[in-house]
Structure 1
């Protein structure tokens, strides 16, 4: 009797959830096994009663010998596909960015220009943390090579809000050095 009561409560909630979530297709429900044939018939009838509120076309088959109930149901509303994708700000949606080694060529070209126009000014380079790691790896690393070439230390500062290929130079007053 307890198993029958639990199955009845489950059937009512299942019918409610099917309507609420607008579940369609073939639905298989695995109820707790019941020995009493009369309880199985009552459960099938109860499920039909619970599903009467459902305006979608549906078919309910009685419990199988394994305690499974099959329901086929058409969806009431068409599926709404919500596109949550955004275009990558780094690559513009192409899926490709320039190799870091090519980016360092751009940085070195800009650094060369800055060193010719402001050889005495303190200098820092703000980059994405991945690019910072690339510039500081190895021995001698890029930062050390720049020091040996220009006899000036370029401080490399990681910024997590920068895009992977974004970089900017700053002077000793923390003002951005415009390269355009």
Structure 2
């Protein structure tokens, strides 16, 4: 009797966890990254930096989850792929350029890293908006709703802002792997 109850509890719990993972795996992975992102934001020493970095990390996570769920992109491979590609091909700024950009925008309360992430996300969102508008007007005008011209760039912006650190880490890992395979050193 007790063995049957334990077996029942284990089976139902396992079934629940597997079903949750199968249905919500993108959001679970995003939640894990959000916890890591907030933890990294809290490691800054200045109180202003901690507050602004944590607020941007939480806001970008909430925006990413909201856009993915509302627009039903949470399982769209192409959304994740284009954000990953966008981080790899966008412009990289030097520290001098970031300092000048921060002072020009009068955003001295932000950390330079966040200014970089916001500008990079905005640049890639512009590229994606132009590409999706071109594809829409040239090919998909009769098949897709025009609201897709707002959904894709908005989702791209918040996802780029949120996933930029992990994408940069993966790009760096791939670059180091490629250099190791080719026998070159940095």
| Common fold by TM > 0.5 | no
TM-score norm. by structure 1 comes to 0.18
Q: Name the structure where helix makes up a greater proportion of residues.
A: 2
Larger Rg over CA atoms: 1
Q: Name the structure where strand makes up a greater proportion of residues.
A: 1
TM-score norm. by structure 2 comes to 0.17
